[in-house]
Each structure stands twice: as C-alpha cells, then as structure tokens.
Amino acid sequence: MAEDLLTTLSSKTKTVEIHRDKPCVIIGERINPTGRKKVMAALKEGNFDMVRKDAEDQVAAGAAVLDVNAGVPGADEPALLKQVMQTVMEVTDVPLCIDTADPDALATALALYEGKALVNSVNGEERSLSRVLPLVKEHGAAVIGLCMDDEGIPETPEARFKVAAKIIERAGKLGIPIEDVIIDPLALTMGADSNAGRIALDTIKLVVAEFGVNITMGASNISFGMPDRKYINATFIAMAIHAGLTCPITNPLVPEVSIAIKAADLVMGRDDYGMAWIQAYRQRQQSQ
C-alpha cells in the first residue's frame, strides 16, 4: 500500500488540506450552468446574483472548496469565467476549483487567482495532457485527472487505473508533485450500466493502493436517470469514502448527502468523539 498523500489548496487567506486521515472535503458543484437553465440564462444576461447566492449557500452548508464553471455556449468564456470567479471571491474566501475545457479560459483564470487552485481537469488524451499540464505547472496549481483517454472511457477498473498512472507519470515529468494530482475514476450513471458504481469503487481502490493520491468524482452522476437520486448519491458517496474518496464534487445543499458524508467520517474514525456529527445534528434541529 502506498502512503496516503496530502494535497493542499488555498485562496488568498484560507488553506484546505485533503488527506485520507482527515474529514472529507466537499467541493461544491452548483456554480455550473450545465443542466441549470436559470443559471445559464442569468449568466447570458450578465446577472451574477445566483452565482453569489450559490457560493454563500454552499459554504454555509459545508463546502470547503467551490467548483466554478462558466461554460455558456456562445459566450466569451475567458471573460465570463473571470467575472464568475471575481463574484465568488467577493463573498467567500474558500479555495476554488477552476472548471473549464477551454485552455484560454484556464490560463486567464489561473493568472487571476491568488492562491493554489484546483484545475478541473486534465485527462489521458494527448491533446489534454499537452495543453493543461504546462499551465498547472506554471501556476503551481493542483489538478484533477480524469480516467479517460483518446480511446474514450475504459470499461474496466484496470484500464482506468492505467490512464490514472499515465496522467501521474506525465505530470511528474513536468515537475508537478504527485500529491497535486487528484484522480477522478469517473462515476457513470447506473441507469445505463448497472456495474458503473462497482467499477468506480474498484478503480478507487486500485489507484489508492498504488499511488496514495487523493480521489474526487462528480458523485451525483452515478444516479442520473434514476428515481430518488438523493438516496443513491448518499449511499454511493459513503461507500466511496470507505474505498478512498477524499474530496467529492457534490451538492452540499442536499441533506441526505451531507449527512452521509458526516456519518462516513464518523465511521472511518475521522471525527473525534463525534463532535462534528453532534454539531451538525444540532444545526439541523435548530433549522427545523
């Protein structure tokens, strides 16, 4: 078994540590127009009120890092991403996860950011590796590595592991420390493949055993197309934490998910005397 590694992210004033011995770090997913028509429309109009509210609400609900995406079709993404980031940084000081597939937008965002950002993301495709990793190195960021390559998303845990190894190796050749590569094993919908959850969990175990790196994923993807998604997501995240997940990208405003994460931390011995669990319980009682 490899030694568990520590990934550190920071804003101008706040530092977040991600490690398997520490409580799970929630990366809030809501500042993203994909699949959110109201957010998409607001961003097209230059209205950032929803972005501001999503930032404040997610941090209040327990997000320690915020994913920021400005992928609006037809928009000037570098300029829009800059505006979204500035809006978020005006209302909260948590570190940001810069979520874009546009290298120009990524370069603009990293140049703007004060601190150590998390880049979402690079994958095993040669084009992605050659365009994203140099920017990560230049700006001293950390990066999420998706387990997919030029041939698509591998169907087996072993094949996804190989992609993770490739990303880690290429990052290392550029001088990016292994602890600054966070692997995403890819959670695909179980509505299309009933083995999707098991494949993701098995991939986590393989990657953690070999490299000890931190693990993220868009955890809610697993339930897409299924009824009562919140229960599936909560169960899957708890199981993934046991397997080695350390920083899921999820919605902290869903109580079932937040409660499952707190319970998993407690069960894994990462909540001394259950104090975080008790505090969260009291907060829920007060809000009723």
State which residues of the chain have pLDDT below 70: none
Predicted pLDDT of residue 288: 79
Q: Is position 1 within any domain?
A: no
| Spatial CA neighbour of 174 closest among 133, 202, 212 | 133
Classify strands 7-10 and 15-18 as parallel, antiparallel or unpaired: antiparallel
Detail the DSSP E strand segments found in 176-282.
181-184, 249-250
Domain count, the chain: 1
Asked if residue 133 lies in contact with residue 171, where contact means CB atoms within 8 angstroms, the answer is yes
Please tell me the distance from the alpha carbon of residue 153 to that of residue 123, in angstroms, as a whole number: 10
Predicted pLDDT of residue 1: 85
The parent domain of residue 269 ranges over 7-287
Q: Which residues contact 62 (CB under 8 A, 6 or more apart)?
A: 26, 252, 258, 261
Q: Is position 212 within any domain?
A: yes
Q: Is the dihedral of CA 135, 137, 142, 145 positive or negative?
A: positive
Predicted pLDDT of residue 245: 98
Q: Which residues contact 28 (CB under 8 A, 6 or more apart)?
A: 54, 55, 58, 59, 61, 63, 65, 66, 67, 249, 250, 251, 252
Q: Is position 140 within any domain?
A: yes
Rounded alpha-carbon distances, angstroms, from residue 201 to 151, 188, 210, 233, 241? 21, 11, 15, 13, 9
Q: Is position 100 within any domain?
A: yes
Please tell me the distance from the alpha carbon of residue 85 to that of residue 99, in angstroms, as a whole number: 11
Asked if residue 63 lies in contact with residue 26, where contact means CB atoms within 8 angstroms, the answer is yes
Q: Is position 86 within any domain?
A: yes
Which CATH number covers residue 115? 3.20.20.20
Predicted pLDDT of residue 16: 98
Please tell me the distance from the alpha carbon of residue 196 to that of residue 272, in angstroms, as a whole number: 33
Q: Is position 206 within any domain?
A: yes
Q: Is position 168 within any domain?
A: yes
Please tell me the distance from the alpha carbon of residue 200 to that of residue 212, in angstroms, as a whole number: 16
Classify strands 15-18 and 96-99 as parallel, antiparallel or unpaired: unpaired
Cα 37 to chain centroid distance, Å, stands at 22
Q: Is position 2 within any domain?
A: no
CA angle 58/64/67 to nearest 5° reads 65
Instruction: For residue 6, give the DSSP letter.
Output: P
Predicted pLDDT of residue 35: 84
Asked if residue 56 lies in contact with residue 28, where contact means CB atoms within 8 angstroms, the answer is no
